[in-house]
Amino acid sequence: MRPGDNLYTCSLLALSPVDGRIKWHFQFTPHDVHDWDSNEIPILFDATVNGRARKLVAMANRNAFYYVLDRETGEFLSGTPYAKQTWAEGLDAKGRPRLKPGTDPSLEGTLVFPNIQGASNWPSPSFSPATKLFYQPAREMGTYYYKGESKYKAGEPFVAGGGRAVNGDEAWGAVRAIEAATGKMKWEFKLLSPPWSGLLSTAGGLVFGGTEEGNFFALDAENGTPLWDLQLGGAVKANPIAFGVDGKEYIAIAAGYAIFVFGL
């Protein structure tokens, strides 16, 4: 394994809009050996933390921890697991993971949660200013991580090792509502499969999302109660959007090879 943290990988960076210089950075997974790059979408919001009004940024990271940072300074405020993880004992006071021994890839394969695609990925979370909740499509799945060696050859992929995903009953998903400022989970709505659909929360108190089985659904934003569901005939692997035309609100989602639009 390569030595060191591999600085700026698996990180959130704040850049100056004037000259592009890095103002601060926070590394979620130093020395990443499980492919948990931070391609998730950060959410900006303001909240009171320990009696102090702060400007915050939150991310449900691919490594299965939900992080809250001060977005002006990058200071770590809290980190809480939001999905099954078996690679860390927890986070220290600065947010650095305390690694469990025996979780690196091996020649025979090492089972680690979350899986190689992460507890989250590119599908978008959503934040509601009304409920103060962070809505996350969570992926519950493990991977057997394998160690390998590769020799560099110009013009060819330089890849070593890999992973084998765990399927069956240990692979499922959920929509999880997390208290944005604290990381505490308020409710969850279970899904049959790890989702590849993002979420949309509305001012009317709804949360929209989709499933691999082709269902498009609406939940009560306060408690997760299912309110509406429609089978679209194709897997939902997109982020729902809301837009208005002539004073009427619409919800749109892509599923399979079609785009569906619904009026509210």
Q: Are 197 and 181 in contact (CB under 8 A)?
A: no
Q: Are 10 and 32 in contact (CB under 8 A)?
A: yes
**Nearest Cα to Cα of residue 69 among 111, 24, 34:** 24
HSE (CB half, 13 Å, CA atoms) of 123?
Answer: 31
Name the catalytic one among 5, 32, 35, 37. 35
E strands, 180-240, are: 185-191, 200-201, 206-210, 215-220, 226-231
**Nearest Cα to Cα of residue 30 among 18, 38, 19:** 38
Q: Cα–Cα distance between 55 and 185 in angstroms, integer?
A: 21
Q: What percentage of the chain's residues is helix, strand, coil (to nearest 5)? A: 0, 45, 55
Residue 70 bears catalytic tag: no
**Nearest Cα to Cα of residue 68 among 44, 37, 97:** 44
HSE (CB half, 13 Å, CA atoms) of 256?
Answer: 10
Maximum separation of any 2 CA atoms in the chain, in Å: 61
Tokens 């949309």 identify what position? 200
Show the tokens assigned to 234. 């194709």
- Annotated active-site positions, please? 35
